[in-house]
Amino acid sequence: MATGGADPTGSGQQASTPGLRYPSNKKTIYDRNLNRSKNAELSRAAFAYLFVEMISYAQRNVRDIAALEKRLNEQGYPLGLRLLDLLLSRSSNPLASIRPTRIHTLIQWVAQTLWRHLFGRPADALERSATDATQYMLYDNDPMVSTYISLPREMRGLNCAAFVAGIVEGVCDGAGFATEGVTAHSVGDQGSQEGDAAGAAPKKEMWPDKTVFLIKFKQEVLEREEILAKGAG
């Protein structure tokens, strides 16, 4: 019976719980402090190196760009489920143990708390789609994940922030706000077309990696929101 956090090389074997193998330092994950890494930061180089490996792993036997983005999304999804609870427990007042129950609070939480934790700054803009009430747009002018990525010509449609989109999707699904999916799109391409028309080319240069995360909630989430807003009161 393999157990949580047990290091396979651990030598310690306790008689009271046969089969449980302790790590060599006798500390299971339950003995570690959850806030130990609260203010710890990972070096950008280490992240970039790992992320490149993740992308090339996802790229194996992949059919097209959509499938590649889907795999990146799936890599991020479980992270979102975990970060949701971890960051909620680290909120300013841990005893209050508050969780978001409305779309607006959740989205704000993603744009502020989650973004700060992941990238050290809040997201750049947050909008609700004017045409589709189920859609929210979260903008990041310079997503950290795309910083060291230059796309080959034949893969221009790819946006590696699909990984971050997966994290956001995990957070929303986990909190009980089911999504149709969260996708990452580069805004640069659109900007260049509009920019050419308006003659405002330098604007596009400013944020070449600008990415929009399209969060599309399921219809039932919106319906629930409406019922809750009316409520008994």
Partner 1 sequence: MSYTFTILSPTDTPLFTHSFGTSRSGGDGIPRFTSSERALIPFILHSALDIVEDVQWGPSTSAGSAPMYLKHIDKYQNNFISCWITGGNVRFLLLTRPRDEALGLGPSSSGQKGSLAGGRAGLQSSSGMLYSPTNAATEEAVKNFFQDVYESWLKTIMNPFFNVGKGDVVKSPVFRARVAAAAKKYL
Of the residues 48, 54, 88, 222, which one makes contact with partner 1 according to CB under 8 A? 88
39, 43, 56, 97: residue in contact with partner 1 (rule CB under 8 A): 97
- 81-90: long-range pairs with CB below 8 Å, 24+: 81/170, 81/171, 81/173, 81/174, 82/170, 83/114, 83/117, 83/118, 83/167, 83/170, 83/171, 84/170, 84/171, 84/174, 84/175, 85/174, 86/34, 87/113, 87/114, 87/117, 89/34, 90/34, 90/35, 90/38
Min dist CB 35 to partner 1, Å, is 10
Q: Which stretch binds partner 1 (CB under 8 A): 43-51, 88-96, 115-123, 140-148?
A: 88-96
Binding positions for partner 1, 193-232, rule CB under 8 A: 224, 228-232
Kindly identify the residues of this chain, within the stretch 14-73, that bind partner 1 according to CB under 8 A.
17, 20, 28-30, 32, 34
Q: Which spans of this chain sit near partner 1 (rule: CB under 8 A)?
A: 1-5, 17, 20, 28-30, 32, 34, 78, 81-82, 84-86, 88-89, 95-102, 104-105, 173-176, 224, 228-233
